[in-house]
Amino acid sequence: MMGNFNNKPLSNLTKRLIRAGELLVSGENQKELESYFDTENFRFHGSGFDTDYKGLVSFFQAMQDAFAPLTIKRGIIIEQDDYIACQSFIEGKFVNEFTQSPVGTIPPNGANVVFDLMNIFKFDNQGRLIEEWVRIDNRGLLIQLGVQ
């Protein structure tokens, strides 16, 4: 489900973004993951959730613990200068407590959950992620999690 508007070959920045997402979701190869980020200056801005690189990694650890197997797919990808905007779909079966939901800890319900995201990423002049903005339908997510 990955694509871009012009069907052009993926740029180096887009390839880096895709790989960074795969590593965040899988929890594999922390050293490689860090090479895709400005770990000292990175800022994440979500719906009611702002953090740094360490906080983002911690959030994804909570996701890995709660949803198995956790996977990521990218939808439409648009790149302009040092920015990439894209759709992201993170999916997994809700099998353990989710400690970092928008409303706190939630017990598992066994459902397949899809985090349907719109992301904007900013890269520095070395091709590292330095900032990210994310929008998600929190109400839709909470329904999937069995809260509403």
Which pTM was predicted? 0.90
pLDDT tens per residue, range 11-68: 999 999 999 999 999 999 999 999 999 999 999 999 888 999 999 999 999 999 999 9
Rounded Cα distance between 34 and 19, Å, is 11
Tokens standing for residue 96? 């353990």
Domain, as residue range, for 133 = 3-144
CA-atom Rg of the chain in angstroms: 15
- CATH at 66: 3.10.450.50
Q: Which three-class secondary structure state does DSSP give residue 130? A: strand
Instruction: State the total domains in the chain.
Output: 1
